[in-house]
Amino acid sequence: MDERERVLGILEELTGEELKKFAYLLPDAIPHGKRDTDSRVNLAKVILQYCPENALDVLVEVLNKIPKKDLVLHLKGDLRRGAPPPPKLVSQEQLMKLARKMGKNWKEIGILFLGMEISRLEQFEEEHSKNMTMQIFSMLCDWRNREKNKATACDLYNILNQEGVELDLSAYAFLLE
């Protein structure tokens, strides 16, 4: 995989909001007027044009600021091995460990950040009426099943690490191990 493919591949992994942050945080060597977020291809060309010697280092630096640690790990794996490591899907053990640490605002996190419907959360409450950990675990498993190949430990970490998520970092930091 050549440098152009790597740069474009990383940009394609970013959501629209993440891409805007990424473009904003690019180094000053890249003029603000050239930071077009409408086209990932054009943005990749601009990065390669203005940072031909260190485009991948620039990606790592900006991805760390967003933060998109999972993409940094993929890119660093790319640089070492020539190919990205396959994304590791979040395991049941990791979901259970997280469920034990989430606490009482789990429904808010589920609705606002995991895209859960209140009716599904109520169903989990009903199914496990005396065990909040199992209610949370059921929600997390439902999220994982819905996300399929995108349900990686790194993706879940990034979701929980967003501004507004009322959950202590120590509850989910293990997802990056």
Domains of the chain: residue spans and CATH:
3-80 (1.10.533.10), 92-175 (1.10.533.10)
**Predicted structure pTM score:** 0.55
Q: What is the mean pLDDT of residues 24-38?
A: 85
Q: What letter represents residue 73's amino acid?
A: L
Residue 84 has pLDDT above 60, yes or no: no
pLDDT tens track for 93-109: 999 999 999 999 999 99
pLDDT band of residue 1 (cuts 50, 70, 90) is: low
Are 7 and 60 contacting, i.e. CB atoms less than 8 angstroms apart? no
**pLDDT value of residue 108:** 96
Which residue's structure tokens are 């990749």? 44
